[in-house]
Structure 1
Amino acid sequence: MTCSSRVTLFLCLTAWLSLQVWPDPVFEGDVLTQQCQGRRNAALSQVKFHRDRKLLRFSKDNQPLSTGTATVKSSGRYSCAGQVTSGRHVNKWASGTVMVQVQELFPPPVLSAIPSHEPREGSPVTLKYQMKLHPKRLASGLLLSFHKEDHTLQDRGLHPELCIPAAQEGDSGRYWCEAAPEGGGVQKQSPWLEIRVWAPVSSPLLTLRPRPTGLAVGYRVELLCEAQRGSPPILYSFYLSGEMLGNHMALRGGAASFLFLVKSEQDAGNYTCKAKNRVSEETSKPETLSVDGYHEQHNQPTEGFKAVGT
């Protein structure tokens, strides 16, 4: 074959060299190795390895090139060039391009909470990862670590789940997991999973101010309702003889109060309040308000709610 035209000349040049790349196929974590070879095992020297036309390494005596642990970013168009010695003649040649596509060994893990990432206090929660290896590498196996914030809960185990038998408020926080194949090479982390354990509200205490006996029309009364325990936000509702007067949301917990003016004997009766959050609802014991006569009060307060506490 003669090299009279530019196209034929290129084919003639590249025919002298070839680039061997292994393994094939190549996955994340594999050691990617390249070898530049001359036709008929011609001696090569001054070899340059390129990826996407950028120099990777120079080898004076044509040593194989190991680019280390492969990642998806290692994908690209690889080639080599060097001097070919034939008798007393030394020529510079280049190989053709080899397209290397590094395959993902496994996607980043996804951590989920079963049955919910917002469990009620005392209920079990199971953290489970979801992912799988590439079908050609299923035999490798994966080691999994579970973490909460910056603490390791389970280190490099084969079990895909972490069980919290009876979740407590202290178990609330951000969880994540890390996966790596046996033998290492690749490590991938899951996104954060926020766990919030909800403590049920305790039975609220209703307090009437002033004392609920012997009040007269014209008095102002405060109904103070507080649940000593429970995850916020807490919705407080106030009732007179079973009929709702109104409600108020305590976003940060604590107590809430309802202010009103005694206008008639119809304001007498049994008052209660309810405390409710995401997982439970409790009702206070009733407090009885009696109305007797009239009371002159010129500075009458605005009726309504106010939050109390944190």
Structure 2
Amino acid sequence: MVIAGGNGVDHRKVATNIGNGTAPKDKQHVGRWGRSLASGEMSFPCHRPGRVARLLQLLLLTLATFPKAFLLLTPPWSTTFKGEKVTLTCKDHHSLVQGYISWYYNGDLWTRGPETIQIKTSAHYSCKTQRSSLSDPVHVEFLFDWLILQASHPVFEGDDVYLRCRGKKEEGINEKIYYRNNKRITHDYNSEVIRLHSVSRDNSKYHCTASGGSSWRPWITTSKPLKIQVQELFPHPVLRASSSQPIEGSPVSLKCETWLPPLRSHIQLQFCFFREDKVLGSGWIDSPELQILTMWSEDSGSYWCQAKAVTPNIIKKSLRSWIRVQRIPVSDVNLEIQPPGGQLIEGEDLVLICSVAKGTGTVTFSWHREGTERNLGRKIQRALSAELRIAAMREQDAGRYYCSADNFYGPILSKRIRVTLRIPASCPVLTLRTPRTQAVVGDVVELRCEAQRGSPPILYRFYHEDVTLGSSSAPSGGGASFNLSLTPERSGNYSCEADNGLGAQRSEAVPLRVTVPVSRPVLTFNPARAQVMVGDLLELRCEVQRGSPPILYWFYHEDVILGNTSAPFGGGSSFNLSLTTEHSGNYSCGADNGLGVQSSYMVTLNFTGLSTNKVIQITSGVIGWLLSMLGLAATASLVSHFRTQRKSGGLPGTGTPSDSPEEHREPSRSRPSSTDPHRPIHSEPAALMELQPVYSNVSPGHDNLVYSQIWSSHHTKEKPGETASEQVEEPAIIYSEVKKAHPDDHEGQAHEDAAENYENLPCVPLALDR
């Protein structure tokens, strides 16, 4: 036996038809159940007089309201091992299911098919037949775990439930322990299945443990927590009255509607009715209906009911329903608004005046806005009109308004009046949309201005540093855009303005930095290329004419990276390099500010000779030390000898022609040196040739020769009466040829005369490479 209600059926009409013997005959299932009852094919577990009639009424009501379908599981466990299958069977209140079954997977329609399907995936499953509403969902879970806890299904409030602790391999399990909310449940030792009595719908969690092994190697494992799916034995009842606003002296029928699932239709329900907190009638009765023969004005109030299952003892109550006994009804309800016309600016007050032409006693006025269930206000007073003020109207307050008046005969509604609001534009938000992360010269940026609120049309104006760029209109509201091609001058702050005639609103400033790609850099050197020589510290300077900082500079020698430096604020950057002969070759640099690398033109540098402010001493073991000592010892003699020969006009015995003072005046400018034909000729200022005396050994590569090179500063002798062109310079460089002893010379052998081992050779001075 099932007691049903809900699902949008007018139960009052059904009950009235049943009472009058005019139950709808056009519904096949109603006719069949009626014929079954008439033929005596059905029986009821009740022997009280009149109970069969009441049960028949409830049964017909159930059939007319499409009760819920329900699911059966085979095997009847909601949890099982992964790889096993579970069979779902969909049933309704009829012995045979007709038509297809709608199956649902996690709340969504899954498929349509027969009343039985097999599943192997964890989910919430539910079903619906063509003669039922949707069943309660059942969560079926397939686990990979070694140990699982299973609960029997279905389970309703007050039912006993069976728990089974199951391992994938039962062999070797010595003990199983069951827990409820982490507290051990007392049961028989190592029970395969335990029984819990009269469970309720709570949030209790259950799990079990299995242990085994030997005393020296024990093991224990725990199952996943399980929440038992306890379904409602019956839903909270709903109180329905034949009339919620009866006229004084008329009867009212109250019905307490609920239903039992087919699997528990044998459970007996009782009902009790209340007005406010006072019990009506004799208290608990077997019938879900109570007849009140006469209603008076003092009977107005809230009514509710309770439903109780006798075994188990489960009680549920309905929500309260208001019943008002009518007197003389009001009529001609009218609503007026101020200001007239129904158009306001957001923030203004709205006054609603509700009035009636007729009505006596206390009148209840209420005000409503279409689309909302809750009333805006209510006043009860002995008057024909009432006023409601709504302060500071907002955008969501726009709509159609009406009022109602009621003096216990039912509310009478007024006509609806539309109230519109003009909303000032809110402070707009400016968004800059660039085609890339950085705004680059030449890009087109979209300036998007949008006010979140504001009545259309809205005019948007766009500004760059408070200079107007242009404007755009949004006739239907929303935002508007303005496109701008970027130049270097477009960096700065941007803003926009929204105006719909109710006051212009300005956005916050948004900064935009327009990035300029770097130009081709220029590579320069300090000192200039004509002045650098081996041993110098050369500064490589790389600089671009334009480009947004920061700029990263790279320096290359023959396409090999020498290093990099950064210019955080723009401009150029330098890299210092100590020169060796290996540094001759091609130099270049690159500049990058994140928009692509630009490379300079390649510059070629050749370095030869020594620097004017560095000394490179080439020594090699003992020979180098000896030669140095020989050079120092011979210096005085060589200089004296040279000067003597100069005064006499020649160098004797050397085989080298003597040079006149004119030939020694500017050797680097006049002609290349006869002793070093590969050395480039450069013209240097006199200031660059002012050198301090320097001595070094130079080996030309012959086994028996070592050259001691002597550098000295220029000394210009001026004679009275001579012009600048007639002035004589002292020799700048003297080479002394020192012959080494032949390796074959044995110890003790007499050496050659010192005069034969030295020879003065004139040579042009080393010049700086231009």
Global fold match (TM > 0.5): yes
Q: CA RMSD in A?
A: 4.2
Whether the 8 Å contact between 1:200 and 1:277 is mirrored in structure 2 is yes
Q: What is the letter of the counterpart of residue 607 of structure 2?
A: V
Q: SS state of the match for residue 294, structure 1?
A: coil
Gaps of 5+ in 1: 1-19, 41-94, 300-310
User: Would you say 1:171 and 2:474 are equivalent positions?
Assistant: no
Report the number of matched residues. Answer: 228
Q: What is the letter of the counterpart of residue 270 of structure 1?
A: N
User: Would you say 1:188 and 2:505 are equivalent positions?
Assistant: yes
Q: Deviations over 1:70-104 (max 9, x none)?
A: xxxxxxxxxxxxxxxxxxxxxxxxx8885645248
User: Would you say 1:126 and 2:446 are equivalent positions?
Assistant: yes
Q: SS state of the match for residue 489, structure 2?
A: helix
Q: SS state of the match for residue 279, structure 1?
A: coil
Q: What is the letter of the counterpart of residue 461 of structure 2?
A: S
Whether the 8 Å contact between 2:554 and 2:564 is mirrored in structure 1 is yes
Q: What is the letter of the counterpart of residue 222 of structure 1?
A: E
Q: 1:249 matched to which residue of 2?
A: 566
Point out the more displaced range, 99-108 or 209-218.
99-108
Greater relative contact order (Cα < 8 A, sep 6+) = 1
| Cα pair distance change 1:214/1:296, threshold 3 Å | closer
Q: 2:590 matched to which residue of 1?
A: 274
Q: Deviations over 1:137-168 (max 9, x none)?
A: 5xx33211111121122246349221223x21
Q: 2:482 matched to which residue of 1?
A: 162
Q: Which has the larger radius of gyration?
A: 2
- Report the Cα distance in structure 1 between the residues aligned to 2:560 and 2:585, rounded to whole angstroms: 11
| Cα pair distance change 1:162/1:37, threshold 3 Å | closer
- Report the Cα distance in structure 2 between the residues aligned to 1:33 and 1:101, rounded to whole angstroms: 6
User: Would you say 1:293 and 2:609 are equivalent positions?
Assistant: yes
- Offset of 1:285 from its aligned partner? 0.8
Whether the 8 Å contact between 1:206 and 1:284 is mirrored in structure 2 is yes
Q: SS state of the match for residue 439, structure 2?
A: coil
Whether the 8 Å contact between 2:346 and 2:393 is mirrored in structure 1 is no
User: Would you say 1:141 and 2:457 are equivalent positions?
Assistant: yes
Q: Among residues 456, 469, 479, which one is paired with 1:153 in the alignment?
A: 469
| Cα pair distance change 1:142/1:102, threshold 3 Å | same
Q: 1:109 matched to which residue of 2?
A: 429
Q: What is the letter of the counterpart of residue 555 of structure 2?
A: F
| Cα pair distance change 1:215/1:154, threshold 3 Å | closer
- Report the Cα distance in structure 2 between the residues aligned to 1:145 and 1:276, rounded to whole angstroms: 37
- Report the Cα distance in structure 2 between the residues aligned to 1:31 and 1:280, rounded to whole angstroms: 55
Q: 1:72 matched to which residue of 2?
A: none
Whether the 8 Å contact between 1:272 and 1:287 is mirrored in structure 2 is yes
Gaps of 5+ in 2: 1-336, 357-386, 397-422, 616-770
Whether the 8 Å contact between 1:26 and 1:32 is mirrored in structure 2 is no
What fraction of aligned residue pairs are identical, expressed as a percent? 30
Q: 1:54 matched to which residue of 2?
A: none
Q: 1:7 matched to which residue of 2?
A: none
Q: Deviations over 1:242-270 (max 9, x none)?
A: 121221111222211112221x2122221
Q: TM-score, normalised by structure 1?
A: 0.59
Point out the more displaced range, 102-111 or 230-239.
102-111
* Higher strand content, 1 or 2: 1
Q: 2:548 matched to which residue of 1?
A: 231
Q: Among residues 496, 515, 523, which one is paired with 1:206 in the alignment?
A: 523
| Cα pair distance change 1:255/1:103, threshold 3 Å | same
Q: SS state of the match for residue 266, structure 1?
A: helix
- Offset of 1:110 from its aligned partner? 3.3
Q: SS state of the match for residue 440, structure 2?
A: coil
| Cα pair distance change 1:185/1:110, threshold 3 Å | same
